[in-house]
């Protein structure tokens, strides 16, 4: 026996040696990187926090954290900005006496949902009201970037820059002629006159019902947007609308640049280049040119340093937060999408964690799979059976399936500008028998009864199956409406009046009884504290996320550390351009088509996140 054991050890000695060698090599490298990477940034007195917003505001970053770290290390353009990161860095700066001024650099800020902009705007207001300066600068202000700029102390524009007073709009592509040309038959089933999600596949234009609904919402959003801007800028009533309407005529009559017209209309405060802005700051604060860069603090590194030095946010009694962001899909999904299995597992964690006394579900979703939405709702109901309060905070969009998973909460909060409702469902089943026939492929066979073949992609959908699908869709819609009536305490007949796929702003949803209060994520957390009878000052926050395994965590830590010490410094963060916009557009279409993965092909989805 001893001889056998000895032989096994000898045979595997080389393998053991390699494993140990690899382990010590990785560990040693990790220790080296940790030692050479500074734990904190040396922030000087009279420093300036530079928040360079590059991309789109989101409630949850898309994709696996390890993949994102690799992309950052390889110099890939980071196109998403976490709202919490901006809010937290601004809140730190508010209390940090070393930070003299906040500089918002908005050249590459593409878009932010209205409720996300409002949340950041509220913190900017708090900073300026407490005597700190916020400077906004851009070469081009779009609707989103100008909203944040208007909440600043000073709005600066490049002398050759542009302020484009964009209102709200809703456009969609329509594919009926394309579908006809490739001879794909899209079998569409829907319930609800306003359920516009299927229109792109059966029409070449927008229906009157959809135009009516979208126009109503767009006008309400613009009114809220303009009022916020005018209040922040101290401009007269409808000044922004007038600037927008008269811009073309003024440029012709005055023979002047848009930048000059914006300045004369007090839409901006000063025309200046970015280099001259820095020179002015150096002169005003008596900082030498050679030392000035040391006084500039990038917000991502600032946030990392402040988080490292801040106290642990968890306590004995905690409020759990789960972010449900993106389309609702079947199965396990990475962050940025809502997989029913992924989200259910997080809800179970909140259920099992005895320190979590209440749960806040942050929903930022246009919906998706009806089956997955119902699976998530069922798990939330099981959570409520424990007696723990459930509060929902709606983001920019919480419609259709997004509302489905929200409706049973003890309290629902939304922004005035959140888009919600869209209570309706549809089914989408394409068949390609005519496309195959064009290239000489046909399908034939036999079956023992009319249900034997089921649904086949290569056969025309038979009438009896169409009838069955429509009957189940009618049942599903009635179930959706009945659940809204039950969980919201609204008579079913009243729910039917506000259903049919119609979308509503947060304020309209409050009037219709679909939500309980107007408020942001902080409001929802305070409500969860109150419902769970916790002390206002003695509770912690636990954000529940799907965890990486130990190997992924180690790899991510190494890559993040390497990024900090600039081992790869050949980065190419580019400004928005036409090719980039085209790439985003194509990704969106492909992503949308791939999102139709419901096992029953029934969807609670709203094309309403493009305002």
Tens digit of each residue's pLDDT (9 = 90 or more) over 107-147: 999 999 999 999 999 999 999 999 999 999 999 999 999 99
**Does the structure show a pLDDT above 70 at 267?**
yes
Flag whether 124 is in a domain. Answer: yes
Residue with tokens 């424990």: 386
Instruction: Compute the average pLDDT of residues 135-160.
Output: 96
Q: Which of 262, 290, 309 is the last residue of a domain?
A: 309
For residue range 164-184, what is the model confidence (pLDDT) as tens digits?
Answer: 878 898 888 899 999 999 999
Mark whether 146 and 223 lie in a shared domain.
Answer: yes
Domain span at residue 24?
A: 1-36
Mark whether 29 and 61 lie in a shared domain.
Answer: no
Q: What is the CATH number of the domain that holds 351?
A: 3.90.226.10
Task: Give the number of other Cβ atoms within 10 Å of residue 310's Cβ.
Answer: 10
Give the model's pLDDT for residue 549. 47
| 264: its two tokens | 């004369």
Flag whether 477 is in a domain. Answer: yes
> How far apart (Å, rounded) are the C-alpha atoms in residues 71 and 65?
10
Mark whether 240 and 128 lie in a shared domain.
Answer: yes
Phi-psi region of 183 (alpha: psi -120 to 50; beta: other; left: phi over 0): left
Task: For residue 53, give the DSSP letter.
Answer: -
Flag whether 562 is in a domain. Answer: no
Contact 372, 339 (CB under 8 A): yes
Mark whether 474 and 394 lie in a shared domain.
Answer: yes
Instruction: Compute the average pLDDT of residues 240-258.
Output: 83
Mark whether 261 and 330 lie in a shared domain.
Answer: no
Mark whether 355 and 459 lie in a shared domain.
Answer: yes
Handedness of CA 532, 374, 213, 418 (dihedral sign): positive
**Does the structure show a pLDDT above 80 at 573?**
no
Residue 275's H or E segment, with its range, is helix 274-285
Coil vs helix vs strand at 156: strand
Instruction: Compute the average pLDDT of residues 362-372.
Output: 95
> How far apart (Å, rounded) are the C-alpha atoms in residues 50 and 54?
12
Name the residue among 62, 104, 103, 96 with its Cα closest to residue 82.
62
Contact 536, 546 (CB under 8 A): no
Is beta strand 109-111 parallel, antiparallel or unpaired with respect to 356-365?
A: unpaired
Flag whether 537 is in a domain. Answer: yes
For residue range 408-455, what is the model confidence (pLDDT) as tens digits?
Answer: 999 999 999 999 999 999 998 889 999 999 999 999 998 888 887 778
Flag whether 555 is in a domain. Answer: no
Mark whether 224 and 255 lie in a shared domain.
Answer: yes
Give the model's pLDDT for residue 574. 43
DSSP strands (E only) in 382-471: 390-399, 411-414, 419-421, 425-431
Gyration radius from the chain CA atoms: 27
Does the pTM surpass 0.75? The reply is: yes
Flag whether 409 is in a domain. Answer: yes
Flag whether 82 is in a domain. Answer: yes
Q: Which of 309, 328, 343 is the last residue of a domain?
A: 309
* Greatest distance between any 2 Cα atoms in the chain: 101
* Higher local confidence (pLDDT), 398 or 14: 398
Give 327-351 as a 3 state SS string.
CEECCCCCCCCEEHHHHHHHHHHHH
**Does the structure show a pLDDT above 90 at 196?**
no
Give the model's pLDDT for residue 223. 94
Give the model's pLDDT for residue 553. 46
Mark whether 266 and 395 lie in a shared domain.
Answer: no
Flag whether 69 is in a domain. Answer: yes
* Higher local confidence (pLDDT), 581 or 476: 476
Coil vs helix vs strand at 537: coil
Mark whether 149 and 23 lie in a shared domain.
Answer: no
> How far apart (Å, rounded) are the C-alpha atoms in residues 90 and 523?
18
What length is written for the chain? 611
| 107: its two tokens | 């050249």
**Complete edge-to-edge strand list for the sheet that includes strand 367-369:** 185-191, 425-431, 602-605, 367-369, 328-329, 338-339
> How far apart (Å, rounded) are the C-alpha atoms in residues 486 and 498?
15
**Does the structure show a pLDDT above 50 at 552?**
no
Instruction: Compute the average pLDDT of residues 189-217.
Output: 86
> How far apart (Å, rounded) are the C-alpha atoms in residues 114 and 214?
16
Mark whether 274 and 295 lie in a shared domain.
Answer: yes
Q: Is residue 568 very low, low, confident or very high in pLDDT (cuts 50, 70, 90)?
A: very low
Which stretch of 166-170, 227-231, 526-530, 550-554 has the lowest confidence by average pLDDT? 550-554
Contact 160, 259 (CB under 8 A): yes
Q: Which of 259, 286, 309 is the last residue of a domain?
A: 309
Mark whether 403 and 503 lie in a shared domain.
Answer: yes
Name the residue among 240, 259, 261 with its Cα closest to residue 250.
261
End-to-end CA distance of the chain: 75
**Does the structure show a pLDDT above 90 at 557?**
no
Give the model's pLDDT for residue 8. 52
Give the model's pLDDT for residue 487. 97
Phi-psi region of 361 (alpha: psi -120 to 50; beta: other; left: phi over 0): beta
Give the model's pLDDT for residue 68. 53
> How far apart (Å, rounded) are the C-alpha atoms in residues 492 and 52?
49
Give every CB contact of residue 303 below 8 A, 6+ residues apart in sequence: 85, 88, 89, 92
Name the residue among 205, 232, 604, 182 with its Cα closest to residue 425.
604
**Does the structure show a pLDDT above 80 at 589?**
no
Instruction: Compute the average pLDDT of residues 515-523.
Output: 96
Total number of domains in the chain: 3
Mark whether 339 and 222 lie in a shared domain.
Answer: no
Residue with tokens 């290569």: 458
């Amino acid at each position: 026996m001893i001889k056998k054991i000895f032989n096994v050890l000898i045979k595997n000695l080389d393998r053991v040696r390699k494993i140990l060698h690899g382990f010590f090599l990785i560990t040693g490298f990790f220790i080296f990187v940790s030692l050479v990477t500074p734990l904190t940034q040396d922030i000087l007195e009279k420093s300036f926090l530079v928040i360079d917003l590059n991309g789109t505001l989101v409630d949850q970053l898309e994709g696996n954290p390890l993949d994102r770290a690799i992309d950052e290390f390889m110099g890939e353009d980071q196109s998403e900005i976490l709202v919490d990161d901006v809010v937290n860095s601004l809140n730190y700066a508010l209390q940090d006496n070393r930070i003299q001024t906040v500089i918002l650099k908005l050249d590459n800020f593409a878009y932010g949902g209205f409720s996300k902009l409002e949340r950041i705007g509220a913190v900017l207001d708090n900073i300026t009201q407490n005597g700190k300066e916020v400077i906004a600068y851009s070469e081009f202000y779009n609707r989103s970037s100008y909203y944040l700029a208007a909440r600043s102390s000073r709005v600066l524009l490049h002398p050759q820059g542009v302020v484009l007073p964009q209102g709200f709009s809703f456009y969609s592509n329509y594919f009926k002629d394309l579908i006809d040309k490739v001879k794909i038959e899209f079998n569409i089933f829907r319930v609800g006159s306003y359920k516009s999600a299927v229109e792109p596949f059966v029409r070449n234009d927008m229906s009157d019902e959809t135009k009516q609904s979208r126009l109503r919402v767009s006008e309400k959003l613009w009114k809220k947007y303009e009022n916020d801007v005018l209040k922040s800028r101290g401009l007269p009533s409808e000044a922004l609308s007038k600037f927008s309407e008269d811009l073309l005529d003024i440029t012709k009559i005055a023979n002047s640049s848009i930048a000059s017209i914006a300045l004369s209309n007090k839409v901006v405060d000063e025309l200046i280049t970015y280099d001259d802005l820095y020179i002015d700051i150096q002169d005003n604060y008596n900082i030498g040119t050679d030392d000035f860069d040391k006084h500039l603090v990038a917000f991502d590194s600032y946030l990392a340093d402040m988080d490292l030095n801040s106290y642990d946010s968890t306590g004995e009694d905690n409020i759990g937060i789960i972010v449900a962001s993106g389309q609702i899909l079947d199965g396990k999904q990475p962050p940025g999408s809502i997989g029913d299995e992924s989200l259910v597992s997080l809800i179970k964690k909140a259920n099992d964690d005895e320190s979590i006394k209440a749960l806040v579900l942050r929903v930022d979703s246009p919906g998706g799979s009806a089956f997955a939405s119902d699976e998530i709702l069922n798990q939330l109901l099981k959570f409520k059976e424990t007696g723990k309060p459930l509060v929902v905070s709606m983001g920019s969009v919480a419609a259709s399936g997004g509302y489905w998973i929200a409706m049973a909460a003890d309290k629902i909060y939304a922004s005035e500008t959140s888009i919600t409702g869209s209570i309706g469902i549809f089914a989408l089943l394409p068949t390609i028998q005519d496309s195959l026939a064009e290239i000489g492929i046909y399908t034939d066979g036999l079956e023992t009864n009319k249900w034997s073949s089921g649904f086949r992609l290569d056969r025309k959908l038979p009438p009896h199956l169409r009838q069955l699908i429509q009957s189940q869709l009618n049942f599903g819609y009635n179930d959706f409406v009945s659940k809204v009536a039950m969980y919201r305490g609204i008579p079913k007949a009243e729910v039917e009046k506000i259903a049919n796929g119609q979308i509503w702003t947060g304020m309209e949803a409050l009037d219709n009884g679909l939500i309980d209060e107007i408020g942001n994520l902080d409001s929802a957390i305070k409500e969860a504290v109150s419902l769970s009878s916790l002390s206002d000052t003695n509770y912690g926050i636990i954000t529940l996320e799907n965890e990486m395994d130990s190997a992924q965590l180690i790899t991510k830590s190494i890559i993040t550390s390497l990024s900090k010490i600039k081992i790869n410094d050949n980065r190419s963060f580019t400004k928005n351009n036409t090719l980039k916009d085209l790439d985003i557009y194509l990704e969106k279409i492909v992503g949308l088509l791939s999102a139709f993965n419901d096992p029953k092909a029934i969807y609670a989805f709203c094309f309403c996140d493009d305002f």
